[in-house]
Amino acid sequence: MNCIILCGGLGLRLRSVVSNVPKVMAPINGKPFLEYLINYIRKFDVGEIILSVGYKANTIKNYFGSSVLYAEESTPLGTAGAIFLCKNFLKVESSEFLLINGDTFFAIDIEELLKRHRETNANISLALARVKDTQRYARVLIDKNNKIIRIERGLEGAGLITGGIFIFKKEMLEFFPEKGSLEEDVIAKFINGTTYGFPFNDYFVDIGIEKDYRECMTYLPKY
């Protein structure tokens, strides 16, 4: 199973503290955030890692060199378009691919997520994180069988959110637009009984805001 990591975000909310590098390269105790993420992924049975890059792509490419593959967008394509751009890198023999947001770290057992994905014959599987307040994110509602019922924004209080780790059947790529949003143009259209969300209680961080970025400097090196 190949892994795509989305690394093209502008990181505007973090620009006040991380201004000279892409958000995924934000320094954590002397190493970029993305390095911690890649090192964690490689603990599992994951094949080639493909970085979907855009903003300040050369900063990422110069650091990781030939240790990973790169799909570079010349103009912003949105998250769905950035994934579509990677399709030619995915191995023919693999029936699934792993997708990870490059600005989140969710310390789940990826092999367990893959097992659940296959057991349910899901088209799309989301690893769900539990947070104290979902207002900053989109809250994911699931039924007793872990099928996603709906995804809602702006809800206060505790709940489940997308943890930035997904598994897709590779055949789903035919439904990805060349430019567009993963959540709105793909996932929202397939909440139809074959899209599942599986809760995990592991450490989760999204470095999109300064508070969480600074806090993860304490926790992330443990992984």
* Nearest-5° Cα angle at 22, 102 to 80: 45
**Domains parsed from the chain with CATH numbers:** 2-222 (3.90.550.10)
| Amino acid identity for residue 28 in this structure | I
pLDDT score, position 193: 80
Are the C-beta atoms of 24 and 103 separated by less than 8 Å? Answer: yes
Residues 6+ apart with CB under 8 A from 219: 203, 205
* First vs last C-alpha separation in the chain: 22
Report DSSP letters for 14-76, one per residue: GTTT--SS-GGG-EETTEEHHHHHHHHHTTSS---EEEEE-TTHHHHHHHHGGGSEEEE-SS-
Q: Where are the alpha helices (DSSP H) in the chain?
A: 33-41, 57-64, 78-84, 110-119, 182-185, 210-219
Confidence (pLDDT) at 192: 78
Strand-pairing partners, residue 16, are none
pLDDT below 70 — which residues of the chain? Answer: 10-13, 15-17, 19
Cα–Cα distance measured from residue 210 to residue 192, given in angstroms and rounded to the nearest whole number: 36
pTM equals 0.94
As a whole number of angstroms, the distance between CA 159 and CA 120 comes to 23
Q: Say if residues 182 and 200 touch (Cβ distance below 8 Å).
A: no
Nearest by Cα to 199 from 126, 135, 138, 132: 126
pLDDT in tens, 84-131: 999 988 877 789 999 999 999 999 999 999 999 999 999 999 999 999
Cα–Cα dist 82/5, whole Å: 10
CB 206 within 8 A of CB 104: yes
Looking at residue 19, what is its pLDDT? Answer: 67
Rounded CA separation 156/174 (Å): 35
State how far the Cα of 159 lies from the Cα of 137, in Å rounded to an integer.
10
